[in-house]
Amino acid sequence: MYVMSLTLVPAATNTSAAPAASSVVAGQLATGTAAAAQQANKTADSAKAGSGSDSSAKVKSAGGTVKLSDEAQAQLRKLQARDTQVRNHEQAHLAAAGGLATSGASYTYEKGPDGVSYAIGGEVHIDVSPGRTPQDTIARAQIIQAAALAPADPSGPDLAVAAQARQMEQQAQVELQQQQAQKQQTKLAGVYASISNTGQASTSSPAKVDSYA
């Protein structure tokens, strides 16, 4: 059984511990599109607009209440927006993958200024082995495509995985057509053989007529 890693590579953020996007390999699904980053920034900016003119704010943390500077508040809003984005992205992959998912979503975290850990990346593994028949392979390939394109903002790697699944589907369709053509040829060969045998039997048997002395 082959297992494909559906990995979410986080977009660059202004947080100090944001990881760089890793190289894309076959089967890797990544978030981190420009649109997603802009959406996260918009969410953070909207929250900032409603924070008032105070230069600092108190938030509840794992160890109690802490006072955050404007910079820390901005970092926190971005981490919160990123956490929501990553979890939604992963859950979309999982929901579409169905029975082909071999694990639940696993996440990588970054601790925010409030002491809470926020998801900044994650991955899901799905089985991408072909089916026992071309029909089964076609069905599995279609599920993989749906899983890759399930998020609202599929990334370049997501699209690459979908393209690979389409290729697998097309190859299975060719194989299915070949099998069907072979079955048809075998059927026709049997019909021709039956006709040929019937003709030989009729020509080899002498005609019987009544004879009178």
Q: Where are the domains of the chain?
A: 3-174
Handedness of CA 140, 141, 142, 144 (dihedral sign): positive
Residue that wins the pLDDT comparison between 69 and 192: 69
Tell me which amino acid residue 164 is.
Q
pLDDT higher than 80, residue 181: yes
High-pLDDT (> 90) share of the chain, %:
45
Q: What is the pLDDT of residue 12?
A: 37
The region of weakest confidence among 57-66, 84-93, 181-190 is 57-66
Mean pLDDT throughout 52-71?
A: 68
What is the tens place of the pLDDT at every residue in 25-40? Answer: 334 555 544 444 455 5
| Rg of the chain taking only CA atoms, in angstroms | 31
CB-CB contact of 8 with 151 (8 Å)? no
Sort 205 into a burial class: Cβ within 10 Å, 0-12 / 13-18 / 19+: exposed
What is the tens place of the pLDDT at every residue in 90-134? Answer: 999 999 999 999 989 999 999 999 999 999 998 889 888 899 999
CB-CB contact of 15 with 44 (8 Å)? no
